[in-house]
Amino acid sequence: MNNFSSHYDDIIDLVDSYKVSHYAKTRNFLDGGVSYLSPYISRGIISTRTVYNSLIKRGYALENIEKFVQELAWRDYWQSQWDFHGDKIDSDLNFSQKSMQRHGLPNSLINVRSSIDVFNVSIEKLYKDGYMHNHMRMYVAMSICNIGAYHWHEAAKWMYYHLLDGDWASNALSWQWVAGCLNDKKYIANQENINKYCRVNERGTYLDKSYDDLAQYNEVDEMLILADEKLIWKQIHCQNPESLVHDDTLIFNYYNLDPKWRSEQVANRILLIEPKVFERYPISEKVMTFFLDLSKNINDLIIFVGDFSELKNLCRGEIYYRQHPLNDYLGVEDQRESLSSVKGNYSSFYKFWKKCKRQLLEERN
Ligand SMILES: Cc1cc2nc3c(=O)[nH]c(=O)nc-3n(C[C@H](O)[C@H](O)[C@H](O)COP(=O)(O)OP(=O)(O)OC[C@H]3O[C@@H](n4cnc5c(N)ncnc54)[C@H](O)[C@@H]3O)c2cc1C
């Protein structure tokens, strides 16, 4: 069971005490030495840069922790793709999803009735803890999209709904990567692979086949029944203020909860919850509670539920916010922190990484 603390000092302790040495060798195993930092990075309470700086300060050299830093860079890469493509990441980006036959979600998986036990255990854990290991996310996504022939979009929304680290760029684009919408190649894993990385020994399942057989799959009975699943976010009720005390206003939101951001500035601190964002990308009650708990690290924060335009009417002075593709705010925009300043559209992660790594090495010299 993962208990994700919402206290800032605990989070910084986690960053500063993370032992990265076994990461490259063990990260693909369900019980491997991963960092569990994604809920904090996704909520913008810390950044990929915070994590990298902590490692460098502790004496690690980039060459010895490259795999881990590459994973941090994957996150920045997906973000830069979202910045570049905007809403286009909500549909098949580079290639249409091939052999797709249905929309919706398979009842067996999302209601924990799969004939593959380790899927049931992991999905139950997702509902309970709000976390799923990266390799399991890939297995579940490939089962839904490439075996069950479901379109990726609703399934991605379902996973995002339950993840404490829900980040629409990492989520939607990873689902698209699995479904072959980014590079026209579908990701498939068979039961032997799952058994190895999950340390189980399941036999005779629908995935217990050779890769050639799996590539020819037509239909799997247990994947055909659609779930009647509605993702509803529970609006929080709060009384919006009628006026604000200070001249300037800092906007925090689902993607920016950094208590260190402009912390010296005298300003109103507003947690802006725009219903239109959560209607489009709903989150579960559990995830909402975690988000609100994390926001308590920001002193004197006022929760405002409504559109930016309504908030703007209450503000006298300058409005400050951090850049994010979901924001259509007006005011002074600060950049988000990332590993490097590399931005824009890169057709492959490795082209992006090459530039990012060069910057990281240059900054060392
Ligand atoms: C289908 C699918 C859906 C996903 N949805 C999300 C999501 O909604 N939010 C999210 O943050 N990540 C998502 N990921 C990426 C990845 O699974 C998680 O970032 C990772 O599992 C988080 O666990 P960790 O912090 O222990 O990672 P670690 O392995 O310790 O990695 C350190 C950090 O690097 C970044 N990272 C690691 N792997 C990836 C990756 N494959 N892609 C992007 N960044 C990565 C994360 O910020 C992570 O915190 C998804 C992956 C898949 C395959």
Rounded to 5 degrees, what are φ and ψ at 269? -115, 115
Same structural domain, 98 and 218:
yes
Residue with tokens 């004197």: 300
Domain harbouring 276, CATH code = 3.40.50.620
Question: Using CA atoms, how far apart are residues 305 and 295, in angstroms rounded to an integer?
Answer: 14
| Atom in ligand 1 nearest the alpha carbon of residue 140 | 1
CA dihedral 17, 22, 28, 29 (to 10 degrees): -90
Across 67-93, average pLDDT: 98
Residue span of the structural domain in which 48 resides = 8-88+340-364
Tell me if 89 sits within 8 A of 172, measured CB to CB: yes
DSSP one-letter string for 188-218: ---HHHHHHHHT----SSTT-S-HHHHHT--
* Residue 325 CB contacts under 8 Å (≥ 6 apart), including other chains: 82, 83, 86, 169
Domain harbouring 84, CATH code = 1.25.40
Question: Using CA atoms, how far apart are residues 238 and 342, in angstroms rounded to an integer?
Answer: 40
Same structural domain, 147 and 164:
yes
Name the percent of the chain lying above pLDDT 90: 94
Same structural domain, 19 and 126:
no
Question: Residue 320 falls within a domain, yes or no?
Answer: yes
Q: Is the pLDDT of residue 322 over 60?
A: yes
What distance in angstroms lies between residue 148's CA and the mean position of ligand 1's atoms? 23
List pLDDT tens digits, range 18-60. Answer: 999 999 999 999 999 999 999 999 999 999 999 999 999 999 9
What distance in angstroms lies between residue 214's CA and the mean position of ligand 1's atoms? 26
Same structural domain, 55 and 112:
no
What distance in angstroms lies between residue 16's CA and the mean position of ligand 1's atoms? 19
What distance in angstroms lies between residue 314's CA and the mean position of ligand 1's atoms? 38
Atom 21, ligand 1: residue with shortest CA distance: 134
Please report, for residues 58, 137, 201, the alpha-carbon distance to residue 195 in angstroms, rounded to integers and kept in the order given. Answer: 36, 15, 5
What distance in angstroms lies between residue 293's CA and the mean position of ligand 1's atoms? 21
Q: Which of 42, 165, 173, 187 to mutate to test the pocket of ligand 1 (most atoms within 8 A of CB)?
A: 165
Domain harbouring 143, CATH code = 1.10.579.10
Tell me if 303 sits within 8 A of 238, measured CB to CB: yes
What is the pLDDT, as a whole number, of residue 347?
A: 87
What distance in angstroms lies between residue 34's CA and the mean position of ligand 1's atoms? 10
Question: What is the ipTM, given to two decimal places?
Answer: 0.99
Same structural domain, 101 and 167:
yes
As a whole number of Å, the end-to-end CA separation of the chain is 42
Same structural domain, 134 and 194:
yes
Phi-psi region of 311 (alpha: psi -120 to 50; beta: other; left: phi over 0): alpha
Q: Which of 205, 223, 241 is the last residue of a domain?
A: 223
Lining ligand 1 with CB less than 6 A are 27, 34-38, 41-42, 71-72, 74-75, 78, 134, 137-138, 141, 159-160, 163, 165-167, 170-171, 174-175, 178
Same structural domain, 95 and 78:
no
Same structural domain, 109 and 196:
yes
Question: Residue 237 falls within a domain, yes or no?
Answer: no
Same structural domain, 136 and 192:
yes
Instruction: Give the pair of three-digit tokens for residue 316.
Output: 């006298």
Across 113-126, average pLDDT: 98
Question: How many structural domains is the chain composed of?
Answer: 3
What is the pLDDT, as a whole number, of residue 1?
A: 55
Across 68-96, average pLDDT: 98
Tell me if 253 sits within 8 A of 307, measured CB to CB: no
List pLDDT tens digits, range 234-262. Answer: 888 888 998 899 999 999 999 999 999 99
What distance in angstroms lies between residue 241's CA and the mean position of ligand 1's atoms? 37
Same structural domain, 100 and 209:
yes
Hey, is 333 helix, strand or coil? strand
The one-letter code for the residue type at 201 is: N
Question: Using CA atoms, how far apart are residues 62 and 143, in angstroms rounded to an integer?
Answer: 35
Q: Which of 75, 151, 164, 171 to mutate to test the pocket of ligand 1 (most atoms within 8 A of CB)?
A: 75
